[in-house]
Structures are given as structure tokens and as C-alpha cells.
Structure 1
């Protein structure tokens, strides 16, 4: 189920993005980014429609996924 990022409180959205960008195995290439930079990048992707928040009802988990256009 897709969750519009605009429907989340700012604190909730930030916590969700922080959890997403700090997951094990996330590769950002050779450049090291701060947590704030990673959160900013993902927030920008959500706002411009390049990413979306998906909620899995069965596992009660959220994931941020790239949108293919």
C-alpha cells in the first residue's frame, strides 16, 4: 500500500527516512554522506516523485522505494 509522504507528520517522516538510510547494506558509493545529507537526499526524492513510501500490511513495515518512470 502506497503512503503519501505528505500525510505523515514531519517528525514521523524524518524518523522513517533515518531508519531507512541507516539500514545495513545500503551502499552510497565512494562518497561518505552524513545522516542529515542522506535524509535530505531521500526527502528530495520523495517530494519530486522519484521515490515513494510503501507499507506492507502483512509485515507491518514501511519501505522507501524508487519509482520507475
Structure 2
């Protein structure tokens, strides 16, 4: 189930994005980016609808996925 990011409190959304960014361990090439920059990138992707916040009832987990990968 997609959870609209606009319905999540700002503090909770920030924590969710930070947890996602830290968990992903993404590689940004030669130039490392700060946590703040990575969080801002994910927030912009949410705002543009490129990624969605997904709740899995089966696994009782929440995740951020590219919209193209979400299968409802």
C-alpha cells in the first residue's frame, strides 16, 4: 500500500528518509555526499513522484521504492 508522503508528519518523514538513506548505502561515485544532501535528494524524488513510500502488511515494514518498481 502506498502511503502519501504528505500525510506523514515532517519529523517522521525526515526520520524515515534518513533511515532509508543510511540503510541503502548508496555509492555516489568519486564525490561523497552528506546525509543532508542525500535526504534532500530523496525528498525531491518523493515530491516529483519518482519514488513512493510503501507499507507492506505482510512483512509489517515500510520502504521507499521507485514508482516503477511498486506493484500494488
TM-score (norm 1): 0.88
In structure 1, the partner of 2:40 is 40
**Alpha-carbon distance between aligned partners in 1 of 2:29 and 2:48, rounded to the nearest angstrom:** 22
How many aligned positions are there?
A: 68
Q: Secondary structure at the match of 2:64?
A: strand
Give structure 2 stretches of 5+ with no counterpart.
Answer: none
Query: Which structure features the higher share of helix residues?
Result: 2
RMSD: 1.3
TM-score (norm 2): 0.85
Deviates more, 1:26-35 or 1:58-67: 26-35
